[in-house]
Every structure is written in C-alpha cells, then in structure tokens.
Structure 1
Amino acid sequence: MRSDSRSKVGVMGRPVKPLISRSSTIAASIEIIDTEGMDAFSLPRVAKHLNVSTSSLYHHFADRRELMTEVAKEIMTEAIVPDLPSGTHWVEWFVDLSLNYRDAILCHPNAALVLVQFLPRDILTNTYERCARILDDAGVPAPLHVVILDGLEKLSLATTLTELMRDPVGSSEIFPNVDPRRHPTLTRALADNRWSSRELFVVTIRGFLAGVMSGTTTTMTDASLRDFIGS
C-alpha cells in the first residue's frame, strides 16, 4: 500500500507547516541585533539565521520597516505594567512603570534606536488608557493628563538612550572626560553625587511629576493652565 504523501507535503511540494513564522522572525531579528548590533542586521542575515531564503520573509513582512516595527513592539511589550495595590500613591506607580520601560530598553541596548525610529504609539494605547484612569482616580486635573503621559514617555526614552550612548556602554561615569583643572565645579558636583544611574533616573521622573503638579488645584481653568505653562 502506498502512503499518501499529502499528509506531509502540501501543494507543489511545499511543507504543510511553514518553515518560519512572524514570531520566530521577530525573535531572530532581536537576537541578531542583541548579539551583533544594528550594523549586522539585514533581511538576508535574518533569513540565513533561520535557514530560509530571503524571499520567505516577504510572506510575513512587506518590507524591512514592517519587521523593525514589530521588533520595536516586542521590546516594549516586555515592559511589565505593574499592579496598583490599594493605598499606593499614583506617583509611585508611575515611577515603577517608568523603571520597567527603562529596564526593557536596557535589556536590548543595540536595539534602542529602533524604538526611536519604529515604535508606533498605538501599541501603548491600552497602557495610556490605564494611566489616564489612574490619574483621574487620583484627582489629577484632566488638562495635565496628556502633559504627564507624553512627558513621561519622552523623558524615559531620552534618559535611557542617553545612558546607553555613554562611551563605553556601561560606563559608570555620568559625564566622561571631566578634567578637574578645567572643570573644577563639575568635578566637585560629581564627587558629591551619591546616586547611581538608576537612582538618578528615579529622581528625574519624580522631579518631572513634582514640577507638573506644583501649584495645581483640583479644578484647573484655561486661565490657570496658561499661567502654569507661562503663555
């Protein structure tokens, strides 16, 4: 009796199960970027890593940009949105959330610039909604919600990228190449600093939130908002 080869092979001799998937391609892309850097990344390099032809990738992604967008999404979804235990102040929740985004980016330092170029904001829309609800429940004036959400995203990304851009990466120097003779005031400031990079990040986030909230009232009118932003 002859076995039915169709159980293993599809039409035109193609395997019934695809050799690659979107998820495996995204994972391979992140692995290449993490281990070899962005300069090594290309669709042919990903295809070689997966042991398939480059044309196979186009069954799942229209082009390099679409793949990079999915890579950016995958990295950011690694950031855990913390729970809000009863009695926790909203500022503490936002500090924890910002730290989680920072840690997710630091886990993929070579891919950090991918987030700047390719991360679509719609991937975080549900998180923004949850953030807005927490601000609303805490009595934060509605005109400040977007200021806080937009500012925290930009601040978290910018400060983390700045940390990654230090040469060499991982250096504990906050400001490199400081000469005590030419930069005496900055040298003293660095000597007096007792905060690690992570602690400085927390201080920056707290400072931003404190600054936004300073002088606000539960009811913020258009006039008071204009006074607040100085316009």
Structure 2
Amino acid sequence: MAARTTLRGPLSRDEIITAALDLAESEGLENLSLHRIAVAVGVKTTSLYHHVSDKADVLDAMADHVLSSVVIPDVDSMDWPDAVRATSYAFRTAAMRYPSSAPLLLVRRPDRPALLPIVDLALRALRRAGLERSQTVHVMRAHIAFLVGSLLRESGVTANGSAATVIAGPHVDLLSAELPAVAESADELAACDHDAEFEFGLELLVSSVRQRLNARPDRPVG
C-alpha cells in the first residue's frame, strides 16, 4: 500500500480507528499493524503514538467504535420480547458493518463502557418481563454470548459450512458407521443460512425466557 503524497491535516484518533477498521476489512484483522495503519493515513508510525498508546489500545477502540454505532431502539415502548428482538438486531446490524472486527467483541474486555448501553437495554427489557434481578443478569449474559457467537460464525471466524461440506462429501459412508447422527444430518450441516440461524436462536432464547416466566407460581405457596 503506498503512502499518501498529498499534504494532510492534523491526525486524529478517530481517523486512526476508522483506518484500522477499514484495513481489517480489506487485509484481515490478523494482518493489522500500527505500521499498516500509519501508511494508510499517510504518517510515520511514531505519529500514531500521540493518539494511541499501542496496538491493544487500537483494538479496544475498534471494539468501542462498533459498539457505539449500535442504534439504540426505543425499548420502553415495546413489550419485552420485541425489545429483546430489536436490541439483538440493532447489535447485529452494527457489528456486521465491520464483520472482520467481530472477534474483537469477544476477546477485548467485556466490561467496556461502550457495551453498557446495550446491557442496560437488555436488563430493562428483562426486568419488565418480570424476571428477578439475578435472573436478568444470567439471561443477559446468555443473550450476549448468543449474539457474539452468531456474529463470529457469520463473519467466518468459526467453523460453519466448510467443515460440514467435507462431512457431506466422499467420507459420508465411513462416517455413517462411526458417527451416524453426523452422517444423517450432513446436508443440513453443510448449509448455513445466517439470517435463519440468527432468527431461530433468538426465538429460542425468547421462548425459554417466556417458559421460565410461565413456570412461576401465580401466588406464594402457604
């Protein structure tokens, strides 16, 4: 990548982070380096240190950028299932603008301030559903684990159809004897409709919360 030859204005932290996100998409997150970022913005690597402390700082800021771009829905005007759905899709939409950076949402610190508005949305919706405070935290964590896991699969970080395609290939006869359930589901394992998978997992989460709510006794016993 050639450095810019035109004169440039003052460098900013936002410009560095935007360049890092774009580089992750074009060249892969694993290839991201401060040197590559410096070349992309047309400065020497040492100039970056006036705005970021190191590569870890850049990666944290990239995760913050993705989280901060979530368009917060008006969950207070919705019933709790729709609030959970709206929050989930808003998170997914923001994250998939930079799918190569999706792993950062998992491996960077999970208590980052940029995540807190999303956590607050989920907790408010679940409390409104009638869950106890401790239960809302458990469900919220399961919810976030589902969201991030789905994004990792969708961005190609985790194994999906590629490994399953091998299962559906010439080895299926051998597998049918040793792994009958895998062989039986080979065609389904080889396909992955990300939209359908996300919707299925989300509805499974919503229905499990509803089932837990319905299982509560209506009146105290005794």
Normalized against structure 1, the TM-score is what? 0.73
Give the alignment's Cα RMSD to 1 decimal.
Answer: 3.3
- For residues 208 and 45 of structure 2, the distance between their equivalents in structure 1, rounded to whole angstroms, comes to 51
Q: Percent identity?
A: 20
Q: Which residue of 2 aligns with 1:207?
A: 204
Name segments (4+ residues, structure 1) moved above 4 Å.
Answer: 171-174, 183-195, 218-221
- Cα pair 1:19 1:52 within 8 Å, conserved: no
- For residues 61 and 158 of structure 1, the distance between their equivalents in structure 2, rounded to whole angstroms, comes to 29
Q: Which residue of 1 aligns with 2:93?
A: 103
**Residue identity in the other structure for 2:54:** D
Greater CA drift, 66-75 or 126-135: 126-135
One of 101, 115, 129 as aligned partner of 1:124: 115
One of 138, 141, 145 as aligned partner of 2:136: 145
- For residues 200 and 23 of structure 2, the distance between their equivalents in structure 1, rounded to whole angstroms, comes to 34
Runs of 5+ unmatched residues, structure 1: 1-16, 222-231
Residues 68, 90 of structure 1: alpha-carbon distance in 2 compared, 3 angstrom cutoff: same
Q: Which residue of 1 aligns with 2:53?
A: 62
Query: Which structure features the higher share of helix residues?
Result: 2
- Is 2:46 the partner of 1:49? no
1:190 to partner: Cα distance: 6.4
- For residues 132 and 113 of structure 1, the distance between their equivalents in structure 2, rounded to whole angstroms, comes to 24
- Is 2:124 the partner of 1:133? yes
1:35 to partner: Cα distance: 0.8
- For residues 220 and 80 of structure 1, the distance between their equivalents in structure 2, rounded to whole angstroms, comes to 39
- Cα pair 1:143 1:220 within 8 Å, conserved: no
Runs of 5+ unmatched residues, structure 2: 1-7
- For residues 24 and 185 of structure 2, the distance between their equivalents in structure 1, rounded to whole angstroms, comes to 37
- Is 2:64 the partner of 1:73? yes
From the CA coordinates, give the structure whose radius of gyration is larger.
Answer: 1
1:160-215 deviation digits (Å, cap 9, x = unpaired): 21233379x9x877933233533575565466799832122121122123224424
One of 167, 178, 202 as aligned partner of 2:167: 178
> What SS does the corresponding residue of 1:72 show, helix, strand or coil?
helix
1:145 to partner: Cα distance: 0.7
Give the total of aligned pairs: 203
1:55-111 deviation digits (Å, cap 9, x = unpaired): 11111111111111001111122222222374x331122122212222333332222
1:16-56 deviation digits (Å, cap 9, x = unpaired): x9620011111111111111112331111111111111111
Residues 152, 23 of structure 1: alpha-carbon distance in 2 compared, 3 angstrom cutoff: same
